Amino acid sequence: MTPADAAGSQEKDRHLHVRLNDERSSIYDLITEYLQASGKAPDWFWRTAGHLEGNDADNLEELLSSAFEAGAFIAHDHPEDLEFRWVTEEECEKERRREERGEEQRDAKGKERSSLSHYA
């Protein structure tokens, strides 16, 4: 196997990560904006998403279609809010661990703040 073969096979093993550029942005707000712009009922969508049972095929298809359309809407109307990255499984695992550590650190800071506010 040549280095070119190895690089080519590594390219095949990549998958796409789509993230919001701004940590303060909310995917829920962008999807709600899409639903409103397309004349769909955001409250129905979110209520159905929260209560969806695996055997409710009609609602599942509608939710998946709407989510797919919302993704296209966001990519078209808000490209500046999105970051696209092709990653390997190894890069994906590193990113997941980094995000988990970040959540743990945020939780610890929140607990620290709440315990300090107890004394304020």
What is the tens place of the pLDDT at every residue in 4-49? 454 555 567 888 888 888 878 888 888 888 889 889 888 988 888 8
For residue 114, pLDDT over 80 is answered with no
Q: Given phi > 0 = left and psi -120 to 50 = alpha, else beta, which region is 118?
A: alpha
Report pLDDT for 46: 85
How far is Cα 85 from Cα 66, in angstroms, rounded to an integer?
23
For the chain, the farthest-separated pair of C-alpha atoms sits apart, in whole angstroms, at 65
pLDDT of residue 19: 82
pLDDT given for residue 108 in this prediction: 61
